[in-house]
Amino acid sequence: MPDDFELIRLQSWRSSAVGYSVCVFLARGQLIDTGFPGARRAVARLLEERRPRGVVVTHQHEDHAGNVALIAERGIPIAVARVTEEALRAGEANVGLYRRACWGVMAPLTSTLEPYEPAGLELVATPGHSPDHHVVWDAERGILFAGDLFLGVKVRVARPMEDPRALAASARHAAALRPRVLLDAHRGIVPNGAEALLAKAAWLEETIGAIDERIGRGWSDRAITSAVLGREDAIALVSRGDLSRLNFVRAVRATAARRAG
Ligand SMILES: [Zn+2]
């Protein structure tokens, strides 16, 4: 069913220079996610040409929420979780140079947002990648607009705000919706989406288990990282450790402490 959704891939010379792009989607006359600040002109053109009746935002990161202020300026209503809106208004401190260079800079949100009730689409909380992450679910058509929930089965690096335990639970939750089509904001269509989500959850649980076991034996974060996840690669260097394997282990340890009270 080709008119179930439309995928629009956004990139700039800066983002493509480092191999990054992000997708936004049109579904039932509504826009899902808003692209990154550096894609403002392309998004403005899209709004003019396609005139979406509303916009739905998956999470606070600048490659998804980067043009929320533009949407608000154009008077288009927006469905966004309260936690996401709060994060956008607060702004994110210390956004690394690699992110600013790739996507452009997102200023803290000051616009008033016109609330929106999506038609035939539902925001489903799926925390983990970020605390405010939601997927957008078209239950009737079986299409899951997964934002950054999936990204890949074995993603060994994490940002400081990630929670791998919550991510594993969210991947299982999304798989249980039994999506017919899984759309990843960076990878596009993911074949066998439900199975891919379950494989991701299983890999996360196994990896977290191996980390927990070593935490229990008193290992250091660095020793656990090299034993369980292997050596850091270029992205850790480029992002100055913002996106790293060590952060994955730290996140597991932080939530282990929380679980233990
Ligand atoms: Zn993200």
d(CA 127, CA 124): 10
91 C-alpha to ligand 1 centroid (Å): 14
34 C-alpha to ligand 1 centroid (Å): 12
Q: How many CA atoms lie within 13 A of 145 on its CB side?
A: 30
63 C-alpha to ligand 1 centroid (Å): 7
Helices (H), 109-181: 164-176
- Sorted by sequence, the CB contacts under 8 Å of residue 197 that are 6+ apart come out as 149, 150, 171, 172, 174, 175, 182
Q: Provide the residue type at 225 as one letter.
A: T
Q: How far is CA 213 from CA 156, 162, 216, 222, in A?
A: 18, 20, 5, 15
In the chain, which segments carry CATH 3.60.15.10?
Answer: 1-119
- Over its C-alpha atoms, the chain yields an Rg (Å, rounded) of 18
d(CA 106, CA 48): 22
148 C-alpha to ligand 1 centroid (Å): 5
159 C-alpha to ligand 1 centroid (Å): 10
104 C-alpha to ligand 1 centroid (Å): 14
147 C-alpha to ligand 1 centroid (Å): 7
pLDDT tens-digit profile, the chain (261 residues): 556 899 999 998 888 877 889 999 999 999 999 999 999 999 999 999 999 999 999 999 999 999 999 999 999 999 999 999 999 999 988 788 888 888 899 999 999 999 999 999 999 999 999 999 999 999 999 999 999 999 999 999 998 889 999 999 999 999 999 999 999 999 999 999 999 999 999 999 999 999 999 999 999 999 999 999 999 988 888 888 888 999 999 999 999 866 665
Q: How far is CA 82 from CA 45, 73, 124, in A?
A: 28, 19, 13
Neighbours of 112 (CB within 10 A): 6
The model's pTM is 0.94
d(CA 207, CA 228): 7
186 C-alpha to ligand 1 centroid (Å): 10
The CATH number corresponding to 1-119 among 3.60.15.10, 1.10.540.10, 3.30.70.870, 3.90.1150.10 equals 3.60.15.10
- Give me the phi and psi of 52, to 5 degrees please: -60, 145
217 C-alpha to ligand 1 centroid (Å): 33
